[in-house]
A and B are shown apart, each in its own frame.
Chain A
Amino acid sequence: MAKARVLIRPKEGILDPQGKAVERALPALGFEGVEHVRVGRMVELEAEDPERLSELCEKLLANPLIEDYEIQTL
């Protein structure tokens, strides 16, 4: 089994209100100078056939219309 990690993010140009909310909360906690926060998700998995991971991402893990994904085999 091959271990892999899939990173999924909102596509560039799509408003990410979660990222904005995090960004706005930071100065109140004393973290100045942080910008362009984007919140996505990460999926860890083990696959028998890593060749099929991108198909799996296209069909289920990501919605290619609104999200980009990146597969990292570990």
Chain B
Amino acid sequence: MIWGVLQFPGSCDERDALHACSLLGEARMIWHEERDLGSADAVVVPGGFSYGDYLRAGAIARFSPAMEAVAEFAAAGGPVLGICNGFQVLCEAGLLPGALLRNEDLRFVCRQVELIGSGEERLSIPAKHGEGRYWAPEEMLDELEAGGQVAYRYAPGHNPNGSARDIAGVRNESGNVLGLMPHPEHAVDPLTGSTDGLKVFEALAGARV
């Protein structure tokens, strides 16, 4: 399996994402000006501060040539994982529902959080962000829950940012695009305390529709 990891000016987690992907297959970096995703079977939009997060986090990155290619790839059923800033980019691009707002208490959070995935699977992975408060209108939240689109929630007591209904990650309607605020790519080696992050990449690998 070939993984493509996007790199924008201002990305900062693309190296860890590349490393995480390389544990599961072949991993290649894709510069934001590339219009061609090569032969990637799955794409990761990594964390960081793409284009300086000017205007709104993710607002400029969505217009990059690489993101145009990602939108087409996703529409054709290709698996796409957006992490942190990547999640913000996917929401801005309309590939995922909702938006990420400034943390409720205005503080940048940086700590290990417990997540609950589908089937009550629990993951321990780090979160680090200043704008990670997931928000969507109430009726949209109801639809996401009813349609099984809430991929990860913060475990009770672990919501670090005031996200609506403790939502940490969502997927699109067809299930091949996944975004989450915490960082699975930082939790792939026992050296850093947890390898639970790999489960997120593995789940996405099987998400082609």
A30 to B157 Cα, complex, angstroms: 36
Q: What residue of chain B has the Cβ atom nearest to residue A60's Cβ?
A: B59
Closest CB in chain A relative to B162 CB, distance in Å: 7
Q: Does A14 contact B (CB under 8 A)?
A: yes
Q: A73: CB under 8 A from chain B?
A: no
B106 lies within 8 A of A17 (CB) = yes
Whether B55 pairs with A66 at a CB distance below 8 angstroms is no
**Range for the number of chain A residues in contact with chain B:** 10 to 19
On whether the beta carbons of A61 and B55 are closer than 8 Å, the reply is yes
Total contacts A-B at CB 8 Å: 29
B162 touches A15 (CB 8 A): yes
Interface string of B170-184 (1 = CB under 8 A from A): 000000000000000
**Identity of the chain A residue whose Cβ is nearest the Cβ of B140 in the assembled complex:** A65
B104–A17 touching, CB < 8 Å: yes
Contacting pair B99 A63 (CB below 8 A): yes
Question: 1/0 contact trace for A1-42 toward B, CB 8 Å?
Answer: 000000000100011011001000000000000000000000
In the bound complex, residues from chain A placing their C-beta under 8 Å from that of B105 are 17
Tell me the smallest distance from the CB of B70 to a CB of chain A, in Å. Answer: 18
Contacting pair A60 B55 (CB below 8 A):
yes
* Chain B contact residue count (CB 8 A cutoff): 17
Q: From known contacts A14-B101, A14-B135, A15-B162, infer whether A63 and B106 are also in contact, taking CB-CB under 8 Å.
A: no
Q: How far is the CB of B140 from chain A (nearest CB, A)?
A: 9
Q: A15: which B residues are within 8 A, CB to CB?
A: 101, 104, 162
CB B131 to nearest CB in A, in angstroms, measures 10
Contact A21 B104 (CB under 8 A): no
Interface residues as binary, A50-64 with B (CB distance below 8 Å gives 1, 0 otherwise) = 000000000011010
Interface string of B56-67 (1 = CB under 8 A from A): 100100010000
Given A14-B101, A15-B101, 16 new contacts (CB under 8 A):
A10-B101, A15-B104, A15-B162, A17-B102, A17-B105, A18-B102, A18-B106, A21-B106, A60-B55, A61-B55, A63-B56, A63-B92, A65-B98, A65-B99, A65-B136, A66-B135
**A-B pairs with lowest CB-CB distance, top 4:** A66-B99, A17-B106, A65-B99, A17-B102
Please list 27 pairs of residues, one from A and one from B, whose beta carbons are closer than 8 Å in the complex, sorted by A's number.
A10-B101, A14-B101, A14-B135, A15-B101, A15-B104, A15-B162, A17-B102, A17-B103, A17-B104, A17-B105, A18-B102, A18-B106, A21-B106, A60-B55, A60-B59, A60-B63, A61-B55, A63-B56, A63-B59, A63-B99, A65-B98, A65-B99, A65-B136, A65-B137, A66-B99, A66-B101, A66-B135
